[in-house]
Structure 1
Amino acid sequence: MPDVFVYLPHIWPAYVAFLIAVLSPGPANFAIMGTAISEGRRAGLIIALGIFCGSLTWAISAALGLAAILRTYAVALEVMKVLGGLYLIYLAWKAYKSARRSDALQAVAETRAAPRTARQLWLRGYAIHVTNPKAIFGWLAIISLGLPANPPTSAIVLIVGMCSTTSLLVFTGYAMLFSTQRALRVYKSARRSIEATMAVVYSLAGFKLLTSRI
């Protein structure tokens, strides 16, 4: 079996590109931040795990060559794209409604609302990532950039393992960071602005997904 570390010079540039992408603000990270701030550390960690599992699903799929299958069955890809875009628009609408409420009305709504279960939080995180078909092509680009043609399985496992471990640390790190008392105080003082920003981010991401060509 070839020495897997021979492929490290190819893997590092792809890993750096992935690290920049996973650290950048986007629908997934905003979902983690917003949940951790408003619902606490446990909720933030659970939704982060859901998002990580969605990312891992696409990582494994890209490694197995599912992107080629999706290109063949264009209808399935279009359906996934529409579902993902509509889901992000739905999240934008919820954030917009929250931003429109006064702090007093928001407190009443939160009191009346039943806490989301771990399953609901995990599924929300998973849905954000797994309904975005662009994610699989992102992973396919990472694997293509990081490895030469016909790489051994060990090299594929290495790059997927490095990137997946990093994404898990980043997602859970955001959940931990934004679940502190200081973050909660900032959220309470600027809740409406934060919710409005989240609505804009979700709207732009959903609109881009619905109108893009894949």
Structure 2
Amino acid sequence: MYWTEFFTVALIHLLAVASPGPDFAIVVRESVGFGRRAGMFTALGVGVGIFVHVAYSLLGIGLIVSQSIVLFNALKWLAAAYLLYIGIRALRAKPADPASAELSLAKGTRSPRAAFVTGFVTNGLNPKATLFFLSLFTVVIDPHTPLMVQAGYGVYLALATALWFCLVALLFSQQRVRAGFARLGHWFDRLMGGVLVALGIKLAFSELR
């Protein structure tokens, strides 16, 4: 009965998650910088972050945030500050000699918990995701759809997001890919830092529509 609605939700989500943004940038950076395990845990963190958006969408809190300039701006500036913080740290990356670069590549220095938290916070604080899920649960999904069915959609969205970014992590954590980046690691960090700073600035100046 709800298959048509589900496929519509799945298609819209696929188009949204495939668009490069903060989640994509942070998963790529963690995967290249710290390896497959860090990338995978970052991807899982992003996936779990989806539950935050689903929860407040189901509770109607998202509607309140969307109608309150103060609350929206507070969330927006908090997210922008976080992106700017991690972006500026990446921009300050310094060149490493080849020996230490290879050693760092082999060892990895990111704990699973830190990687997970990075992914979770990046997704959970994204106000664009707030507006996406709000529109999804108020415009695309019929308000008469049973709450349990809507919750099922939310579980799918979280799992699909985690799976997508796990695939991204697998791709960018390949030894050949990482070895290539290791030789120019500081430039890659600076590039991703620039992307995150640009996203943070764009977010800071975005307006509630």
Q: Which runs of 4+ in 1 moved over 4 A?
A: none
Supply the AA of the counterpart residue of 1:199: G
- Report the CA distance between 1:72 and its aligned residue: 5.4
Is 1:127 aligned to residue 121 of structure 2? yes
1:124-169 C-alpha deviation (Å, 9 max, x unpaired): 2221111222212111222234322322123312322222221111
- Report the CA distance between 1:105 and its aligned residue: 9.0
Corresponding residue to 1:102 among 90, 95, 101: 95
- Report the CA distance between 1:198 and its aligned residue: 0.9
Q: Secondary structure in 2 aligned to 1:103?
A: coil
**1:163-174 matched pairs, under 5 angstroms:** 163-174=157-168
Is 1:19 aligned to residue 14 of structure 2? yes
Corresponding residue to 1:197 among 191, 194, 199: 191
Is 1:149 aligned to residue 165 of structure 2? no
The corresponding residue for 2:78 is 83
The corresponding residue for 2:42 is 47
Supply the AA of the counterpart residue of 2:158: S
- Report the CA distance between 1:67 and its aligned residue: 0.9
- Report the CA distance between 1:29 and its aligned residue: 1.4
Gaps of 5+ in 1: 1-5
Q: Given the superposition, is the C-alpha separation of residues 116 and 189 from structure 1 closer, same or farther in structure 2, using an over 3 Å criterion?
A: closer
Q: Secondary structure in 2 aligned to 1:150?
A: coil
The corresponding residue for 2:64 is 69
**1:32-43 matched pairs, under 5 angstroms:** 32-43=27-38
Contact kept? 1:146, 1:159, Cα under 8 Å: no
The corresponding residue for 2:87 is 92
d(CA) in 2 for partners of 1:20 and 1:62? 20
Give the structure-1-normalised TM-score: 0.84
- Report the CA distance between 1:106 and its aligned residue: 10
Q: Secondary structure in 1 aligned to 2:207?
A: coil
Is 1:139 aligned to residue 136 of structure 2? no
d(CA) in 2 for partners of 1:51 and 1:157? 18
1:19-52 C-alpha deviation (Å, 9 max, x unpaired): 1211222211121111112211111112222222
The corresponding residue for 1:186 is 180
Provide the identity percentage: 25
Contact kept? 1:7, 1:147, Cα under 8 Å: no
d(CA) in 1 for partners of 2:186 and 2:170? 22
d(CA) in 1 for partners of 2:32 and 2:119? 15
Supply the AA of the counterpart residue of 2:26: A
The corresponding residue for 2:2 is 7
Task: After superposing the two structures, state which structure 1 stretch, 34-43 or 156-165, moved more.
Answer: 156-165
Give the structure-2-normalised TM-score: 0.85
Contact kept? 1:58, 1:135, Cα under 8 Å: yes
